Structure 1
Amino acid sequence: MTRDADPAPKALPIKLDSTSNGEFAPVPLPAAARHARALALDAISGSARQLAMPRRRYLQSMLGAAATLSAFNQAFAAAGQRGGHYELAAEARFEHAAAKEAIGGADDEFIFDVQLHHVNPRGAWRAKASPNAFRGMPNSNCGKADHIECFSADALLKDVFHDSDTAMGVLSHVPGGADTNPLDFEAAGATRLAANALDGSERLLLHGRCMPTLPGELDGMDAQVEGARGRISAFKTYTQFGPRDGAEGFFLDDERFGAPFIERARKLGVHNIAVHKGLAFGQRGYQYSSSRDLGPAAKRHPDINFLVYHSGFDTSRNEGPYDQKADYGVDALIRSVREAGNPANVYAELGSTWRFLMRDPDQAAHLLGKLLLDFGEDRILWGTDSIWYGSPQDQIQAFRAFQISSEFQQRFGYPALTPAIKRKIFGLNATKVYGLDTIQLRRKLGKDRVQKSRLDYLNDPNPSFETYGPRTRREFFAFRAVSGDGP
């Protein structure tokens, strides 16, 4: 098969589908999103024919992404959604210059993805997992002799650093104990080393992991810092996580689990806490998905940065104007921070949240608008939850083009998504959180071996446009069964 042949005739360069990151049950596409997909498929085929270009080559160019976003606009407008849209010229699906202006990115853009994941095919977790773990996932048929290799570090490095404009990232963790987590700490450290250049620049930072409701986890934080020689950029935790025969979760402001966890991180010199909020695993421990503890914890620990992964977003609740009575969802995070006096050490992260809301521009406009009003443009972080969604390039291109409508700006007081705001969200905010010098980073990363290999790859790119995570409830429950003591 030649590179111009199209192995996936229904693939879109900007993906709208029901894929989950494995932390929430897949949500079927609404009618407007299904219509958007159908229009995009027709637009791509028609535009490629008009340009006498093979369909796959058209998909690989910015033209395919521009045609897709234009079709999304048409479908969402027909459905009466007026809160947001993808801003690009009508000719962008035919002219490279117009497409580049809308979704190509500025020269001074620096994309720093603070939420990346992969699986360790040779980890201890496999001893307890079914031989068919991950077998039902869409990407498990990638052609590897061991299907778990389809979700390996190599897949992450290709999808993120070759097939997207991501410059830097943070390798994070999924919930699970030390012997059941599909990405153990040692393997994560090896991936960081593989991505980092030989000349001393860094492409990947590393999270430590801690589930304080499990025995030995607090002491395990010391071992992680020692093993990483102090190169732990944050500790990641899941407040919903607990053993089935014990605590079902915890809050960051409680004395039994939350406070000791934060104090141990401080003692180890780690002043960033990344906490999963929202995206409920299910009803068990659901109350701990609420962000009601973030304000009190941040006020109590002003020297600790709290990075709220997913911004507390809950797929079961529609995003609208701020509701001051909300106990869950993004509004619960905003409420908690407001009631604590708006401490400046709380940051909202967009992994899975933005990807989910690409299907619904009204909700996307409300969520981004509310975060900008309450957190400001300096405390929103870019994350994509890749590789569960495949390459993050589609999320990047869609965010570059997205704009909150003038109607919503006037009705709700939301600010416009200016290029300057997007640059901050895409990466500049995260560099400040992690104490990095953007000027030095650009200088090093522009000439390291990862950049050189990417330039070689782009001479003959081969993106898959595939997603990795579960797209159906059956796949979701098969994924969740990997961790026997999970929630």
Structure 2
Amino acid sequence: MTSPTDPDLRRLPIKLDSTSNGEFAPVALDAAARHARALARGAVDAAARRTGQDRRRYLVSLLGAAATLSALDRAFAAAGKRGGGYMLPAEAPFELAAAQAALAGDEFIFDVQLHHVNPQGAWRKNAGPNAFKGMPNSDCGKPDHVECFSSGALLKDVFLDSDTAMGVLSHVPGGADTNPLDFEAAGATREAARALDGTERLLLHGRCMPTLPGELDGMDAQAARHKLAAFKTYTQFGPRDGDSGFFLDDERHGTPFIERARKLGVRNIAVHKGLAFGPRGYEFSTARDIGPAAKRHPDMGFLVYHAGFDTGVKEGPYDPRAEAGVDVLIRSVIEAGHPRNVYAELGSTWRFVMRDPDQAAHLMGKLLKTFGEDHILWGTDSIWYGSPQDQIQAFRAFDIRPEFQQKYGYPAITPAIKRKIFGLNAARVYGLKPDEMRKKLVKDPVQKRKAEYANDPQPSFATYGPRTRSEFLAFRRIQGELP
């Protein structure tokens, strides 16, 4: 069976690659991950033949994901990466019931970090006709290649090709005229989804870059226009000829921003931490300010996007002397007395450590020890990585192995904990009642369309974000971050 979305039939349903979300330079796979990917391709071919299916039909079934994850796990273990693993029964690549038991969960999945691009936005005046040209998905067949990253692509990837039930439409860094997803387009996407299904599958963030003129006053207009779930900010973002960033606990930008959000009745601050754009403003990407800001504003929620993860730091056991990475966030909240209004979010972070089960085990183990199972939020940073289904399936299968649990005091990641991380925690933060939402969602038009789509699914298994340094630099230029 051929596929218009995967003509060479070489893509895997669990994606290991160098793709970036555009906020960090792509990082090449190491030898172990490259070998794991090659082994997975061979395992899929062999399993498809054994089950008597052509490769495409096998890949789009749960068997394909099971075969891929099983092969990745074997390869990583052979390479000595045994801190965590993808735990599937041996028969899962061949028997649907076994694959379903491991990978077909019924969790309420609430993705708190989704993005798309507005093809008609003001940013295109500055970006020029070649914006996003050459990116991995820019040849999707649309007359305007930027439509490949539009709200329609987001809705297919997230609500048809994954088990995601709800999401939050967030923002990327940039001012009003340079942001590929401007606030008005984000609001339009949310309203289109709401009109389509009669529910609220998409919540909406407001945006604010306090180092730019007029941004604080702009918060008022956003709150007046739409009901906002949070205000999103990037502390490392600032004008090139002025402030290079700010901290949430400073009196010039951070405190006025938080207090303006509170005045507007928006009690959640979503803040990008980690995934530094580069050397400029690097210090402001660290999470040293989270603990003090949360302690000072106990009535506000602080949702730490990416959990402070930095691709330049290999996550290991907690190091209180760390100057970057997740350990800075951990130290910040410990020194502040463990304020209970801080939440660590996994967008891009989980996707990156999927390539290294030791890092994944340390990352999840440290977060669970520090924040507890009720304060970790599921996010995927989709649309940049295509459908988030592979991230969902990998997390369902992942656990910290007993050796690491005993050595470092990490807990097992039980199904109950995964349910909380997948969506129950975020539902509480955003004031949703999952059981009531489920009753609406199972009857809405999106669910009906998804059931029809399941008769002939066409997942692309593609990633959209930059995979090379040249693609990354081009992406940064359209946002005005580079000349």
Cα 1:400–1:127 change in 2 (3 A) is same
Q: CA deviation at 1:449?
A: 1.2
Question: Of 412, 422, 428, which aligns to 1:426?
Answer: 422
Cα 1:4–1:329 change in 2 (3 A) is closer
Counterpart CA distance in 2 for 1:306 and 1:5 is: 39
Counterpart CA distance in 2 for 1:369 and 1:41 is: 30
Q: Is the 8 A contact 1:276 1:308 kept in 2?
A: yes
- 2:86 maps to 1:86: yes
Matches within 5 A, 1:268-347: 268-347=264-343
Runs of 4+ residues over 3 Å off in structure 1: 1-6, 197-200
SS at match of 1:205: strand
Counterpart CA distance in 1 for 2:43 and 2:196 is: 44
Counterpart CA distance in 2 for 1:250 and 1:304 is: 19
- C-alpha RMSD of the superposition: 1.3
SS at match of 1:140: coil
Counterpart CA distance in 1 for 2:204 and 2:482 is: 23
SS at match of 1:224: helix
- The equivalent of 2:356 in structure 1 is 360
Question: Can you give the 5+ residue segments of structure 1 that lack an aligned partner in the other structure?
Answer: none
Counterpart CA distance in 2 for 1:151 and 1:279 is: 22
Give the letter aligned to residue 456 of structure 2.
D
Question: Of 454, 460, 465, which aligns to 2:461?
Answer: 465
CA offset digits 1:274-327 (Å, max 9, x no partner): 000000000000000110000000000000000000000000001000001112
Cα 1:302–1:104 change in 2 (3 A) is same
CA offset digits 1:203-222 (Å, max 9, x no partner): 00000000000000000000
Counterpart CA distance in 1 for 2:128 and 2:84 is: 44
Cα 1:6–1:326 change in 2 (3 A) is closer
Matches within 5 A, 1:443-458: 443-458=439-454
Question: Of 141, 144, 152, which aligns to 1:143?
Answer: 141
- 2:254 maps to 1:263: no
- The equivalent of 1:104 in structure 2 is 104
Q: Is the 8 A contact 1:357 1:363 kept in 2?
A: yes
- The equivalent of 1:18 in structure 2 is 18
Q: Is the 8 A contact 2:236 2:285 kept in 1?
A: yes
Q: CA deviation at 1:21?
A: 0.2
Counterpart CA distance in 2 for 1:211 and 1:198 is: 32
Q: CA deviation at 1:5?
A: 9.8
Counterpart CA distance in 2 for 1:344 and 1:392 is: 29
Q: CA deviation at 1:332?
A: 0.2
Relative to the length of structure 2, the TM-score reads 0.98
Q: Is the 8 A contact 1:136 1:478 kept in 2?
A: no
Counterpart CA distance in 2 for 1:198 and 1:399 is: 30
CA offset digits 1:403-424 (Å, max 9, x no partner): 1000000000000000000000
Q: Is the 8 A contact 2:158 2:388 kept in 1?
A: yes
Relative to the length of structure 1, the TM-score reads 0.98
Percent of aligned positions with the same letter in both sequences?
Answer: 76
- The equivalent of 1:62 in structure 2 is 62
Q: CA deviation at 1:484?
A: 1.7
SS at match of 1:74: helix
SS at match of 1:367: helix
Give the letter aligned to residue 251 of structure 1.
F
Counterpart CA distance in 2 for 1:192 and 1:58 is: 34
- The equivalent of 1:401 in structure 2 is 397
CA offset digits 1:104-155 (Å, max 9, x no partner): 11x3x10000000000000011011121110021000001110000000000
Counterpart CA distance in 1 for 2:89 and 2:457 is: 26
Question: Paired residues, what number?
Answer: 483
Q: CA deviation at 1:90?
A: 0.8
Give the letter aligned to residue 281 of structure 1.
F
Question: Of 470, 476, 482, which aligns to 2:478?
Answer: 482
Q: CA deviation at 1:485?
A: 4.8
Q: CA deviation at 1:365?
A: 0.2
